[in-house]
Amino acid sequence: MPHSYWSKQPKPTEIRRRIEGFGSWIEVDLDAVSNNLVEIRRHTSAEVMPCVKNNAYGHGLLPLAAHFEDNGVKRVLVAKTREAIQIRENTGLRAVNMDPLWTAEQYEAAVAKGVTQVVYMIEAAERLSRAALKLGKTAEVFVKVDTGLRRVGVWHEEAPDIIKRIVAFPRIHLDGIMSTLMQNSEQDRRQIGRFKAVADEMRSSGVDPGLLSLASTDATLNNPAAHLDLVRPGMSLYGVYPESKDVASGPKLRQALSWKARIEYVKIISRGDSVTYWGKFVAPENMPVGTVHVGFYDGVPREMANKARILVDGQYRSSIGSISLNHILLDLRGVDAKQGDVVELIGRTGENTLSRFAETAGWMTYSVLNHLNSHTPRVYTRDGEPVALLEE
Ligand SMILES: Cc1ncc(COP(=O)(O)O)c(C=O)c1O
């Protein structure tokens, strides 16, 4: 049975009608996401826990979570408690939450909603246990082990002892242990060894470590020794190879996201005219210029002054001048474009794919996706048909 999320959505004709009124919107091809999940599953025998943190890397949290659940996913990874609770309230997925909790209310809400909390300090486990006792529930936990990244986590040498103490608290259930790799082959090898040693030592003292998880996209694609029980890719499930070397790793990924906008205004400017702040573009001839109602508020990097590649009338044209908070300008020489026409800022092929867009800006693809404004409407398609609309 498909997730109930879809049955609450407007009909395709209604979604199309609503799009007519959008100045810019993001489209997410759910078939591409399914393809990427199939490709990753073909590449590993580990369980796949999609990383849906930060609004599913800009793709929209609940539609992606519902879609993953439809495709047999059991757990997802988030970095904000608010997102963990949204997932628990709207899906049957386990939500592994990396956000630290601060107040008694937060500990109780996490336990009440059945969030699987990432912990690495005794005190946090004790507070979860106390909340679980009060609510008559069990607190699910993942323990984060620091095997060398030196960001957060219990240091691997102390981990077996600390985890034993964590699981000894009443009403704490250990779902698994996780660590994050440095994505450097020599370091990763050492980290895998340290992580497995923690699990072995726990087992030999009679404590089940649960699921073992190390791999994000990089190790999922390139390092089978790190797959263990549970891989937790993000970027690859959205169809983006983080680095060009990853293309040869096996899975045939398809980018899911594209970003469209309408031309707000078209005019002819004269040779020698400059456009927008600081005059970073001066017209070499009389030329048509389009203004599009998106800017760095929406997630266009300011570094794209004079160089974003935008698809208009089937051809790529450059942005001209600086990127404003809510506007970009577009060179319309040689194309047929008028007010209201749809242009593509991020496409799924060609000169403005996510990877090329990020490269043009000098940003990482991670930064581009994580800066897409959550207020931009998201339209979800299956077989090319719009099936859901997310407006915040
Ligand atoms: C702990 C952890 N695991 C997995 C991921 C997914 O990473 P990627 O998008 O590279 O697959 C992230 C994302 O930053 C993360 O923080």
Give residue-wise pLDDT tens across range 289-323: 999 999 999 999 999 999 999 999 999 999 999 99
Q: What is the three-class DSSP state of 88?
A: helix
Q: Which helix (H) or strand (E) holds 7?
A: helix 4-7
Give the Å distances, CA to CA, from 234 to 33, 73, 102, 256: 11, 13, 26, 12
All structural domains of the chain: 31-237 (3.20.20.10), 257-376 (2.40.37.10)
Nearest Cα to 386, choosing from 27, 89, 8?
27
CB atoms within 10 A of CB 357: 23
**Which ligand 1 atom is nearest residue 232's CA?**
4
Tens of pLDDT, residue by residue over 21-67, are 999 999 999 999 999 999 999 999 999 999 999 999 999 999 999 99
> Does the Cβ of 355 fall within 6 Å of ligand 1?
no
d(CA 354, CA 208): 42
d(CA 90, CA 390): 14
Q: At residue 208, what is the residue type?
A: D
Q: What is the three-class DSSP state of 161?
A: helix
Q: How many residues does the chain have?
A: 392
Contacts of 242 (CB under 8 A, 6+ apart): 217, 218, 235, 236, 364, 365, 366
Q: Hey, which of 59, 77, 228, 243 would you mutate to test ligand 1's pocket, going by the most ligand atoms within 8 Å of its Cβ? A: 77
Q: What's the number of CA atoms in the CB half-sphere (13 Å) around residue 140?
A: 18
Global pTM value: 0.97
* pLDDT at residue 392 greater than cutoff 90: no
Q: What is the CA radius of gyration of the chain?
A: 24
**Which ligand 1 atom is nearest residue 220's CA?**
11
Tens of pLDDT, residue by residue over 332-348, are 999 999 999 999 999 99
Distance 234 CA to ligand 1 centre (A): 6
pLDDT at 2: 87
Distance 230 CA to ligand 1 centre (A): 13
Distance 243 CA to ligand 1 centre (A): 14
> Does the Cβ of 50 fall within 6 Å of ligand 1?
no
Q: Give the model's confidence band at 180: pLDDT under 50 very low, under 70 low, under 90 confident, else very high.
A: very high
> Does the Cβ of 129 fall within 6 Å of ligand 1?
no
Contacts of 118 (CB under 8 A, 6+ apart): 96, 97, 98, 141, 142, 143, 144, 178
Distance 78 CA to ligand 1 centre (A): 9
d(CA 90, CA 64): 12
- Quick one: residue 231, left, alpha or beta (phi over 0 = left, psi -120 to 50 = alpha)? beta
